[in-house]
């Protein structure tokens, strides 16, 4: 399996930070496609509920990526339609799905052992916040009266060799969601490796946050809007922070 860790000379095949200034931010579909492009061929992958599910639509059929769903299946196919709908064959979002050749079924303890045991290559999750150390908050707003529900979020956060997060970089009120410290209740510590957002793609490692690409904005501009030190590839000077 390809290792996703930082290697000398670049991150995820990139040697320089690229600022795409000839375009605006990524749309939802483009964001899903950006995640899909970085999933190595032949990976075992779990796509979280909601937006991460759409990454599957952008994985080429010949990429050999095998999808895991934590309710007990490897080799999950696309959503089922019409006569293919089977109430016994659903994904973690409880949506009817299909099985692909080579699929297998297993019980819940095995499914999460597979995850916890570090056998999955990549999982893709949504988030409320990610910290500059890679802490993840995605299960609970912490709002008074909110009913807590964690599902498999904590298992997934700690359960893949690489955890990718996809989210908007800023909340509706303009507050950054990549933060020095999460203020929402945590899902996992130092678990996020890669952060895909509408405005930029980041790598998070022991040395902090590295911007890989920006979309319709510059690293300098993003740094001015966030309280996080942003490193660049091929450019030694970090931006921002305090």
Active site residues: 70
Place of tokens 């895909």: 196
C-alpha–C-alpha distance, residues 161 and 182, integer Å: 22
Stretch 58-87 residues interacting with other proteins (CB under 8 A): 69-73, 86-87
In the complex, minimum distance from the CB of residue 149 to other proteins, in angstroms, rounded to a whole number? 4
Stretch 152-181 residues interacting with other proteins (CB under 8 A): 152-155, 158-159
C-alpha–C-alpha distance, residues 226 and 222, integer Å: 6
In the complex, minimum distance from the CB of residue 22 to other proteins, in angstroms, rounded to a whole number? 41
Residue 72's closest CA among 127, 152, 150?
A: 152
In the complex, minimum distance from the CB of residue 191 to other proteins, in angstroms, rounded to a whole number? 10
149 binds other proteins (CB under 8 A): yes
Stretch that binds other proteins, among 15-23, 56-64, 89-97, 234-242 (CB under 8 A): 89-97
- Select 18 or 85, whichever has its Cβ closest to other proteins: 85
In the complex, minimum distance from the CB of residue 103 to other proteins, in angstroms, rounded to a whole number? 9
Stretch 177-216 residues interacting with other proteins (CB under 8 A): 185-189
112 binds other proteins (CB under 8 A): yes
| Pair 35, 26: CB distance under 8 Å | no
C-alpha–C-alpha distance, residues 77 and 48, integer Å: 15
Phi/psi-derived region of residue 9, left when phi > 0, alpha when psi is between -120 and 50, beta in every other case? left
125-149 burial by CB neighbour count: b if 16+ within 10 A, else e? Answer: bbbbbbbbbbbbbbbbeeeeeeeee
- Rule CB under 8 A: which residues touch other proteins? 69-73, 86-91, 94, 99, 105-109, 111-113, 115-116, 135, 140, 145, 147-155, 158-159, 185-189
């Amino acid at each position: 399996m390809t290792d996703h860790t930082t290697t000398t000379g670049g991150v995820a095949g990139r040697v320089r930070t690229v600022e795409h200034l000839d375009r605006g931010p990524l749309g939802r579909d483009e964001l899903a496609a950006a995640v899909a492009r970085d999933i190595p061929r032949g990976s075992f992958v779990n796509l979280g509920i909601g937006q991460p599910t759409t990454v599957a639509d952008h994985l080429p059929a010949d990429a050999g990526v095998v999808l895991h769903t934590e309710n007990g299946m490897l080799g999950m196919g696309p959503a089922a339609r019409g006569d293919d709908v089977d109430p016994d064959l659903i994904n973690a979002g409880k949506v009817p799905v299909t099985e692909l050749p080579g699929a297998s079924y297993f019980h819940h303890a095995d499914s999460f052992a597979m995850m916890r045991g570090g056998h999955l290559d990549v999982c893709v999750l949504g988030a409320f916040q990610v910290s500059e150390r890679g802490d993840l908050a995605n299960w609970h707003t912490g709002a008074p009266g909110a009913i807590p529900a964690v599902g498999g979020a904590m298992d997934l956060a700690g359960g893949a060799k690489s955890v990718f997060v996809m989210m908007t970089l800023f909340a509706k009120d303009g507050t950054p969601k990549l933060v020095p410290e999460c203020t929402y209740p945590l899902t996992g510590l130092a678990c996020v490796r890669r952060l895909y957002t509408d405005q930029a793609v980041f790598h998070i490692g022991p040395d902090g946050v590295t911007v890989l690409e920006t979309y319709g904005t510059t690293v300098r501009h993003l740094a001015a809007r966030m309280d996080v030190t942003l490193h660049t590839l091929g450019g030694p000077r970090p931006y921002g922070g305090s």
